[in-house]
């Protein structure tokens, strides 16, 4: 037979595997999808049922796999009776829903997505049920929120589906984050995240100072998931989901996860006043409010949604009552509610499917069209109302008995039986309304003439209704043993003796049931007379406070008050905040040290920076009206920076700066053509507010400059801290990295992974630029032929001995020839820079940039068309090649058992040349070269193509794209 490890792993893994397969099937493969999904569910059911002997023995089956051993976390699958029953419920209802969905989904719906999400959701739910580790449980918990989001928003063309999905995700996922925090606190108290160890530490947890925070956080998680007040609002909106999703998520599984967790952790968290008040009152409010509001809903699914709220409230209330018998009733009602509510949802789905509407006001007399479906739905609705001989009656009876039992003698406790009876009356009323208004009365005019659905679509409902009946009539023979298994695993030795008999004699709970039934009928009768659509009760029911809307309204208001759409204001605030943040740490410290040794001033260096500073200031002044001048001046400041790098012993930086400077110049020059003309209007008379703004900006700029100057001066005049990491790199560069150029060794070896990240950023930018420019639409006034070219053409036209375009072709002829000749020279230089990089200034970055410059020079000299007729440039392939090299180098280290990107030195025996020391980082550096080359060329060429694009025939853009790609 299978080992328990295999069984458990299969249980959890099968749905995800199935989901993956489902997503790969063709779009319209409804049958294949249904076979796959149902088959998966059946396999899981089989593997679960193989665990029955162990469950009957009240054992806990565990299997543990190492996950993050350093953090004391393992992946634990753990099944006890309660988890087992819950897993059976998830899988069983899942199977029926998959079958139903085959017939529900229309041929136009892309079903692979649907079934893939459903299966993945089932896997995540099973993950919650079977987790033996709290962190792992939270992980699956968030997964269910995520897949429920995708499922609710399945019809994403529908705005209400999108909104409903978003609200559900916001509420349940933020609840999940609270749960995560709570679980961490709980694990901290218990000393372990392992469920068994946490469950054994109940007394320690309840006595701990952090008990209350942990409780509150975990309860927020559970109550959001189970849609309990005040987090209930997401559930009715989630009804925009396809009906199979509602039947599965919103009756049997997702919303049950919250109460499952409450029951799971009740032995450790329960038994205090906090538990009683928080859980009990949330449950009570939701129970009554849900039942009340359900009476006024006109959409059948909304009736069911509010009724679900109410029933979940009932379960929560039972768990809040904090007694063993109440817990038994809660677990029992979880199972019962899942059966009748899932069948009701599916029934509503059939009605919707067959008639084209779910509006109670429009539906009437459906019994004569859908006799079988109607009968099934009526039985299920009766179970929902708590009619005797059905399963809903049994758990409701147990609930009534619990409300009577005195717990702490408070006023709330005394009122509980009355409130419970009242809410039960409401639920009878809405169930009755559901039955009578939809199935009886005169036949209505409907969008479609209904007929009975295919048998297999009805089969899931039939099966569930039979379960309702059988459990309701002979509970001890059917559900009894299973309930015993579940209860024993939650309550352990304290498990109470309970009796599931249908008839206990004329007891007080029975009387309450009778009152509820009679009162419910009366309520319904009153409501029928009373105009449902306009009466004050209706207005009260409709004016429900939507927390989501309120929150967004407030957010919008605050945004309007504090936010701005204007970039200048935003940047001003940003710079000021940065200024303050930079200034604060200096408060109370001396900026300048006691003694300072200044290095003597070199007049040449001073001169360089006098020019540099003038350039910088002039750039600031010229950038508005004289763009080209500003660009050149900026280059001046860049060159001063470059000289500084050489002067202060950073040859690699100087090289890189110089090359980047060249590339940036070319880039911006290419862009200048598309900017609007702006004439220098001299110093216009600015109004006072403009002047004011300029003064403010000027003072911000001066403050920032002075501040940064002061801080850098303060640092420069201090001694180097003795325990820096520089020595580490200097010492190991040659011995371990095998290179004498420490900067290069750091980049490609010690911090190679960082470099990989950097070049990835470069690639992403290049691709974004490429994508943005493909859709580039220049402003109309930029489209005209540039003035210089117009003058040249006019010259050709005026001189009869010249061909049109000749002057343009001859333009800058001598520099062009030189640039063409430079191509091989620069190329060789790039290779030289690359090869010497490990020991001398150079390396992949600068080599890639020089090669890019070599190519772009040809474009500048001869024009795009000329170049692309002669050489093919494939920047994307270069980038891909670069990544292949970089990753191959990294993974090669993996293969021989070292961490990613570990370098290795080896000696190659080359003919003629002799022995050559080669480091594996050379291959990595080549990857960097290829990526930098590809990305730079891609950006520049994409921009350069804009000029010729508009002049080409419409068929040409594809050729352009080919040339670039």
Interacting positions 656-685 with other proteins (CB under 8 A): 656-657, 660, 663-664, 667-668, 671, 674-676, 678
Residue from 418, 776, 811, 898 that binds other proteins (CB under 8 A)? 776
- Only one of the segments 67-75, 188-196, 711-719, 915-923 lies at the binding site for other proteins (rule: CB under 8 A); that segment is 711-719
**Please, what is the minimum distance in Å from the beta carbon of residue 644 to other proteins?**
7
**Which token pair is 660?**
């980047």
* 741: contact with other proteins by CB under 8 A: yes
Q: Who contacts 183 (Cβ-Cβ below 8 Å, separation ≥6)? A: 134, 135, 137, 138, 193, 218
Yes or no: say if 463 and 100 are a contact pair by the CB < 8 Å rule.
Answer: no
Among positions 789-808, residues that touch other proteins (CB under 8 A) are: none
The whole-angstrom separation of Cα 577 and Cα 529 is 65
**Between 257 and 939, whose beta carbon lies closer to other proteins?**
939
- Only one of the segments 28-36, 71-79, 392-400, 722-730 lies at the binding site for other proteins (rule: CB under 8 A); that segment is 722-730
**Please, what is the minimum distance in Å from the beta carbon of residue 873 to other proteins?**
17
**Please, what is the minimum distance in Å from the beta carbon of residue 857 to other proteins?**
17
* 713: contact with other proteins by CB under 8 A: yes
**Between 678 and 872, whose beta carbon lies closer to other proteins?**
678
* 706: contact with other proteins by CB under 8 A: yes
**Between 601 and 895, whose beta carbon lies closer to other proteins?**
601
Which of 450, 144, 492, 557 lies closest to 327, judged by CA?
492
Q: What are phi and psi of 64, to 5 degrees?
A: -120, 135
* 609: contact with other proteins by CB under 8 A: yes
**Between 268 and 860, whose beta carbon lies closer to other proteins?**
860
Which of 460, 234, 505, 186 lies closest to 339, judged by CA?
460
What is the SS3 assignment for 861? Answer: helix
**Between 605 and 823, whose beta carbon lies closer to other proteins?**
605
- Only one of the segments 375-383, 398-406, 628-636, 887-895 lies at the binding site for other proteins (rule: CB under 8 A); that segment is 628-636
**Between 127 and 844, whose beta carbon lies closer to other proteins?**
844
* 97: contact with other proteins by CB under 8 A: no
Strand partners, 61: 79
**Between 330 and 654, whose beta carbon lies closer to other proteins?**
654
Rounded to the nearest 5 degrees, what angle is found at the Cα of 468, between the Cα atoms of 303 and 421? 55
Which of 106, 137, 140 lies closest to 121, judged by CA?
140
- Binding mask 400-419 toward other proteins (x if CB under 8 A, else -) reads --------------------
Yes or no: say if 807 and 795 are a contact pair by the CB < 8 Å rule.
Answer: yes
Residue from 167, 240, 259, 747 that binds other proteins (CB under 8 A)? 747
**Between 587 and 598, whose beta carbon lies closer to other proteins?**
598
Yes or no: say if 370 and 455 are a contact pair by the CB < 8 Å rule.
Answer: no
- Only one of the segments 226-234, 317-325, 393-401, 696-704 lies at the binding site for other proteins (rule: CB under 8 A); that segment is 696-704
Among positions 926-945, residues that touch other proteins (CB under 8 A) are: 932, 935-936, 939, 943
Residue from 46, 404, 559, 613 that binds other proteins (CB under 8 A)? 613
The whole-angstrom separation of Cα 6 and Cα 3 is 5
- Only one of the segments 131-139, 221-229, 595-603, 881-889 lies at the binding site for other proteins (rule: CB under 8 A); that segment is 595-603
Residue from 712, 812, 815, 825 that binds other proteins (CB under 8 A)? 712
**Please, what is the minimum distance in Å from the beta carbon of residue 685 to other proteins?**
17
Among positions 496-525, residues that touch other proteins (CB under 8 A) are: none
Among positions 3-32, residues that touch other proteins (CB under 8 A) are: none
Question: How many of the other CB atoms lie within 10 Å of CB of 707?
Answer: 15
The whole-angstrom separation of Cα 98 and Cα 41 is 9
Yes or no: say if 841 and 657 are a contact pair by the CB < 8 Å rule.
Answer: no
Question: How many of the other CB atoms lie within 10 Å of CB of 263?
Answer: 25
Give, as one character, the DSSP assignment of residue 677. P
Number of shown-chain residues binding other proteins (CB under 8 A) = 111
The whole-angstrom separation of Cα 871 and Cα 881 is 18
**Between 705 and 815, whose beta carbon lies closer to other proteins?**
705
Q: Is 704 exposed, middle or buried (0-12, 13-18, 19+ CB in 10 A)?
A: middle
- Only one of the segments 66-74, 358-366, 751-759, 864-872 lies at the binding site for other proteins (rule: CB under 8 A); that segment is 751-759
**Which token pair is 446?**
């409907």
**Between 162 and 572, whose beta carbon lies closer to other proteins?**
572
- Only one of the segments 191-199, 332-340, 448-456, 753-761 lies at the binding site for other proteins (rule: CB under 8 A); that segment is 753-761
Residue from 730, 797, 821, 961 that binds other proteins (CB under 8 A)? 730
Question: How many of the other CB atoms lie within 10 Å of CB of 757?
Answer: 11
**Please, what is the minimum distance in Å from the beta carbon of residue 856 to other proteins?**
13
Among positions 125-154, residues that touch other proteins (CB under 8 A) are: none
Yes or no: say if 487 and 84 are a contact pair by the CB < 8 Å rule.
Answer: no
**Which token pair is 769?**
């630029």
* 617: contact with other proteins by CB under 8 A: yes
**Between 555 and 708, whose beta carbon lies closer to other proteins?**
708
Rounded to the nearest 5 degrees, what angle is found at the Cα of 560, between the Cα atoms of 554 and 563? 115
**Between 302 and 733, whose beta carbon lies closer to other proteins?**
733
How far does Cα 890 stand from its chain's mean position?
A: 29
**Please, what is the minimum distance in Å from the beta carbon of residue 331 to other proteins?**
58
* 839: contact with other proteins by CB under 8 A: yes
Q: Is 893 exposed, middle or buried (0-12, 13-18, 19+ CB in 10 A)?
A: middle
Question: How many of the other CB atoms lie within 10 Å of CB of 473?
Answer: 15
**Between 727 and 810, whose beta carbon lies closer to other proteins?**
727
C-alpha dist (Å) from residue 782 to 166, 673, 950, 953: 43, 7, 11, 19
Question: How many of the other CB atoms lie within 10 Å of CB of 806?
Answer: 15
Among positions 544-583, residues that touch other proteins (CB under 8 A) are: 565-568, 571-572, 575
Yes or no: say if 42 and 61 are a contact pair by the CB < 8 Å rule.
Answer: no
**Please, what is the minimum distance in Å from the beta carbon of residue 692 to other proteins?**
13
Yes or no: say if 293 and 306 are a contact pair by the CB < 8 Å rule.
Answer: yes
Residue from 778, 827, 831, 947 that binds other proteins (CB under 8 A)? 778
Yes or no: say if 152 and 161 are a contact pair by the CB < 8 Å rule.
Answer: yes
**Please, what is the minimum distance in Å from the beta carbon of residue 758 to other proteins?**
5
Residue from 203, 549, 731, 810 that binds other proteins (CB under 8 A)? 731
- Binding mask 632-661 toward other proteins (x if CB under 8 A, else -) reads --x--xx-xx--xx-xxxxxxx--xx--x-
* 585: contact with other proteins by CB under 8 A: no
The whole-angstrom separation of Cα 745 and Cα 739 is 6
Paired sense of beta strands 905-910 and 914-919, if any: antiparallel
Yes or no: say if 141 and 225 are a contact pair by the CB < 8 Å rule.
Answer: yes
* 841: contact with other proteins by CB under 8 A: yes
**Please, what is the minimum distance in Å from the beta carbon of residue 601 to other proteins?**
6
C-alpha dist (Å) from residue 433 to 139, 237, 347: 41, 22, 15
Which of 816, 878, 813, 870 lies closest to 852, judged by CA?
878
Give, as one character, the DSSP assignment of residue 250. I
**Please, what is the minimum distance in Å from the beta carbon of residue 889 to other proteins?**
18
**Between 188 and 673, whose beta carbon lies closer to other proteins?**
673
* 627: contact with other proteins by CB under 8 A: yes
**Between 415 and 672, whose beta carbon lies closer to other proteins?**
672
Give the CA-trace dihedral at 898, 902, 907, 913, to 10 degrees.
150
- Only one of the segments 129-137, 160-168, 734-742, 824-832 lies at the binding site for other proteins (rule: CB under 8 A); that segment is 734-742
């Amino acid at each position: 037979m299978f080992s328990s490890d295999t069984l458990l792993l299969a249980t959890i893994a099968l749905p995800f595997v199935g989901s993956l397969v489902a997503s790969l099937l063709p779009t319209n493969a409804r049958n294949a999808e249904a076979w796959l999904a149902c088959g998966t569910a059946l396999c899981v059911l089989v593997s679960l049922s193989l665990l029955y002997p162990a469950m009957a023995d009240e054992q806990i089956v565990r299997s543990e796999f190492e996950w993050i051993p350093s953090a004391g976390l393992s992946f634990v699958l753990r099944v006890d009776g309660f988890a087992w029953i819950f897993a059976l419920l998830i899988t069983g209802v899942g199977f029926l829903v998959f079958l139903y969905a085959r017939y529900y989904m229309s041929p136009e719906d892309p079903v692979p997505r649907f079934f893939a999400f459903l299966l993945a959701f089932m896997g995540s739910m099973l993950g919650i049920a079977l987790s033996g580790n709290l962190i792992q449980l939270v992980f699956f918990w968030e997964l269910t929120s995520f897949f429920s989001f995708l499922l609710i928003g399945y019809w994403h063309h529908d705005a209400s589906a999108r909104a409903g999905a978003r609200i559900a995700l916001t509420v349940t996922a933020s609840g999940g984050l609270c749960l995560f925090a709570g679980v961490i606190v709980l694990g901290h108290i218990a000393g372990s995240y392992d469920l068994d160890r946490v469950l054994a530490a109940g007394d320690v947890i309840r006595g701990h100072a952090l008990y209350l925070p942990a409780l509150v956080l975990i309860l927020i998680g559970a109550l959001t998931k189970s849609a309990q007040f005040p987090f209930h609002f997401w559930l009715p909106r989630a009804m925009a989901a396809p009906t199979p999703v509602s039947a599965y998520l919103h009756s049997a599984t997702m919303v049950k996860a919250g109460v499952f967790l409450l029951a799971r952790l009740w032995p450790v968290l329960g038994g205090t006043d906090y538990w009683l008040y928080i859980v009990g009152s949330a449950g009570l409010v939701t129970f009554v409010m849900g039942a009340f509001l359900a009476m006024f809903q006109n959409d059948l699914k909304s009736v069911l949604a509010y009724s679900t709220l109410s029933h979940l409230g009932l379960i929560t209330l039972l768990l809040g009552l904090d007694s063993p018998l109440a817990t038994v009733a809660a677990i029992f009602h979880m199972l019962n509610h899942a059966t009748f509510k899932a069948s009701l949802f599916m029934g509503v789905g059939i009605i919707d499917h067959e008639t084209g509407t779910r509006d109670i006001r429009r539906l009437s007399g459906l019994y004569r069209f859908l006799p079988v479906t109607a009968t099934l739905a009526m039985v299920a609705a009766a179970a929902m109302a708590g009619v005797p001989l059905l399963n809903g009656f049994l758990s409701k009876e147990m609930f009534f008995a619990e409300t009577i039992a005195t717990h702490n003698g408070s006023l709330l406790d005394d009122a509980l039986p009355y409130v419970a009876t009242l809410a039960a009356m409401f639920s009878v009323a809405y169930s009755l309304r559901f039955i009578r208004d939809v199935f009886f009365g005169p036949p209505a005019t409907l969008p479609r003439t209904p007929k009975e659905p295919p048998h297999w679509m009805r089969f899931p409902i039939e099966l569930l209704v039979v379960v309702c009946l059988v459990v309701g009539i002979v509970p001890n023979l059917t559900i009894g043993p299973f309930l015993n298994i579940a209860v024993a695993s939650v309550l352990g030795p304290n498990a109470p003796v309970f009796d599931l008999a249908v008839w206990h004699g004329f007891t007080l709970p029975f009387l309450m049931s009778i009152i509820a039934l009679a009162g419910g009928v009366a309520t319904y009768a009153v409501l029928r007379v009373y105009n449902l659509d306009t009466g004050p009760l209706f207005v009260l029911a409709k004016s429900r406070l939507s927390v989501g809307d309120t929150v967004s309204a407030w957010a919008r208001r605050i945004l309007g008050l504090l936010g701005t759409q204007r970039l200048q204001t935003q940047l001003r605030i940003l710079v000021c905040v940065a200024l303050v943040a930079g200034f604060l740490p200096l408060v109370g410290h001396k900026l300048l040290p006691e003694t300072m040794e200044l290095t003597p001033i070199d007049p040449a260096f001073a001169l360089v920076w006098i020019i540099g500073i003038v350039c910088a200031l002039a750039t600031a002044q010229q950038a508005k009206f004289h763009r080209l001048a500003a660009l050149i001046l900026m280059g001046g400041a860049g060159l001063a920076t470059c000289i500084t790098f050489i002067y202060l012993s950073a040859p690699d930086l100087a090289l890189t700066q110089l090359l980047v400077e060249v590339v940036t110049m070319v880039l911006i020059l290419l862009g200048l053509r598309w900017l609007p003309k702006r004439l220098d209007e001299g110093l216009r008379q600015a109004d006072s507010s403009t002047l004011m703004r300029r003064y403010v900006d000027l003072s911000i700029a001066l403050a920032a400059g002075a501040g940064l100057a002061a801080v850098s001066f303060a640092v420069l005049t201090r001694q180097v801290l003795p325990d820096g990491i520089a020595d580490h790199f200097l010492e190991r560069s040659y011995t371990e990295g095998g290179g004498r150029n420490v900067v290069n060794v750091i980049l490609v070896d010690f911090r190679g992974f960082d470099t990989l990240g950097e070049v990835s950023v470069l690639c992403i930018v290049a691709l974004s630029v490429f994508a943005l420019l493909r859709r580039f639409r220049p402003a109309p006034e930029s489209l005209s032929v540039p003035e210089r070219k117009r003058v040249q053409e006019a010259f050709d036209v005026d001189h009869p001995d010249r061909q049109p375009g000749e002057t343009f072709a001859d333009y800058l002829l001598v520099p062009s020839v030189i640039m063409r000749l430079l191509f091989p020279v620069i190329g060789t230089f790039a290779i030289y820079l690359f090869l010497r990089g490990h020991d001398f200034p150079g390396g992949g970055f600068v080599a890639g940039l020089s090669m890019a410059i070599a190519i772009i020079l040809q474009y500048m000299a001869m024009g795009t068309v000329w170049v692309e007729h002669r050489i093919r440039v494939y920047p994307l392939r270069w980038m891909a090649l670069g990544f292949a090299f970089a990753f191959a180098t990294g993974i090669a280290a993996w293969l021989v058992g070292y961490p990613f990107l570990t370098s290795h030195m080896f000696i190659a025996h080359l003919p003629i040349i002799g022995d050559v020391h080669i480091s594996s980082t050379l291959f990595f550096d080549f990857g960097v070269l290829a990526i930098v080359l590809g990305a730079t060329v891609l950006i520049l060429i994409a921009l350069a193509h804009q000029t010729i694009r508009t002049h080409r025939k419409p068929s040409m853009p594809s050729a352009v794209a080919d040339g670039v790609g």
